[in-house]
Homo-oligomer: A and B are copies of this chain.
Amino acid sequence: MGKVQAPSGTRDFLADDLRRRRTAIANVSEVFERYGFDPLETPAFERIEVIAGKYGEEASKLLFKILRRGAHESSGQPDLALRYDHTVPLARVIGTHGSKLPSPFKRYAIGPVWRADRPQEGRFREFTQCDVDTVGSTSPLADAEIVRAIADGLGALGVARFRFLVNSRQALRGLLEVYQVAEGRGDGVLATLDKLDKIGVQAVAKELVDERGLDVSTAEHLTEDVAADDPDLLRVKLSATERGQQGLAEIDSLLELAADLGGRVVFAPRMVRGLDYYTGAIWEVEAEGYPGAIAAGGRYDGLVASLGGPDAPACGGSIGIERILAMQDAWESEPHGLDVALTVLGGEADLMRLAGVLRSNGARVGMFLGASRKLGKQLQWANAQHARFTVLYGPEEQDAGEVTVRDMESGEQTRTPLGNAASHLRELIDR
């Protein structure tokens, strides 16, 4: 039978990778816990009616849908779908558990989601999302807590140099008011402005005319204003409308509540998030050495309701943890070796008992499980296991009631009574 692979776009995590991922995730979780966020874990799949139609048509094609079972399997119809993100399940949980949840509900979720994207370098069909959200508070403190939790989370992931680019959906809407862009065109215009980094000033201005219905002069001036990325310019313009002032206040409140983060949080008028659902302060994180944004978020007061939950204000953020982990994969990883390797040349019951004592003291202990009785071969195995110490217990040692302990780095060997071997090894390990 041929070599069968994991499904396209998925990965097997073997020990080294998995340990690194687990450590990273534990570190981020610990940060979120410090902020009083609680963990939440939802099922891998949801009823299809909870998920379908929530993400738009394009995304809908990327759902992994689960066939009905038993007599209904032949219908070819799905009734469940693997979760596509952690946000729709969050909205569902709030609907399901309602009053059992604290208010505001501060939760984090770190776990796999599934999207049938075309697999490519660095993009997977099963990947981990790392979300933190507060539902049920309109306080700017809630927004600031998210930003600070994400900043600390990035620090815990070893990302050293990063900046939060902050803007506000209200500020952007205010700017559109200054240019008398019709309310109904706002979302489309912002979606186009979001492409500045991708397609450049001229193409954006052209798209604003061709597809969003702005006149040429408005399109050009608006694009220039955003592209200039000049906070002072925007402050002047935005002060002209109430909405603009409101947006500035959102931005300034976030800047003030993060003032002690040492200039890591800045007003960036050019940062436009194209997603319709944002309603207040929005932000993205750029980091040295990483292309694109490695974290993003904002306030989305209408989203929970639109996803089937109750009408509740909310804000949140997400760390692109897969990209950060991929960077870490390039680091050399410390092999996770054995503290003690036991070679086996007879005396199995004695060795098993010794292993038991060592393990109950917390040591990582392996025994040679192969068929060979050649010491050389067994020492090779101990080496491959990155063992710090190896125990030899050949016929001569057995007769003497002793073991030989070999320091695998120095090659130094010492003899010690079998009954004393566990505490002797414990001392060596702790040294």
Contact = CB atoms under 8 A, between A and B. Distances in A.
Interface in A297-323: 308
Interface residues of A, number: 106
A233 interface: no
A12 B139 contact: no
A364 B257 contact: no
Contact of A356 (B11, B62, B260, B362): B260
A116 interface: yes
Contacts of A50: 4
Nearest to A145: B367
A369 B142 CA distance: 6
Interface of A: 1, 3-7, 10-15, 18-19, 22, 31, 33-36, 38-47, 49-50, 61-67, 69-70, 73-78, 80, 82, 92-93, 95-98, 100-102, 104, 106-107, 112, 114, 116, 126, 134, 136-142, 144-145, 148, 152, 256-261, 308, 336, 338, 344, 348-349, 352-353, 356, 359-360, 362-371, 384-385
Contacts of A136: 369
Contact of A257 (B18, B349, B384): B349
A414 B18 CA distance: 47
A34 B152 contact: no
| Interface class of chain A by DSSP | mixed
Number of identical monomers bound together in the oligomeric complex: 2
A402 B127 CA distance: 47
B67 A61 contact: no
Contacts of A360: 152
26 contacts: A1-B95, A3-B96, A4-B49, A6-B43, A6-B92, A6-B96, A7-B46, A11-B43, A13-B40, A13-B41, A13-B42, A14-B100, A18-B41, A35-B366, A44-B114, A44-B126, A64-B69, A76-B77, A104-B370, A138-B371, A141-B367, A141-B369, A142-B369, A256-B348, A257-B349, A257-B352
A308 B364 contact: no
Given A34-B365, A44-B126, A257-B352, A96 B61 contact: no
Nearest to A1: B308
Most interface-central of A43, A367, A384 (chain B CB within 10 A) = A43
Contact of A4 (B14, B47, B101, B384): B47
Contacts of A98: 3
Given A33-B364, A65-B66, 12 more contacts: A1-B95, A5-B96, A6-B92, A12-B43, A12-B93, A14-B101, A18-B41, A34-B363, A36-B365, A64-B80, A67-B67, A67-B78
A5 B73 CA distance: 22
Report which residue of A5, A36, A42, A95 has the largest number of chain B beta carbons within 10 angstroms of its beta carbon. Answer: A36
Contact of A47 (B7, B65, B106): B7
B12 A102 contact: no
A272 B40 CA distance: 41
A40 B12 contact: yes
Given A44-B44, A97-B14, A308-B1, A148 B356 contact: yes
A192 B63 CA distance: 44
Nearest to A89: B12
B366 A36 contact: yes
Which of A74, A77, A139, A140 has the most chain B CB atoms closer than 10 A to its own CB?
A139
B4 A92 contact: yes
Contact of A370 (B7, B139, B385): B139
B348 A141 contact: yes
A23 to B, nearest CB: 12
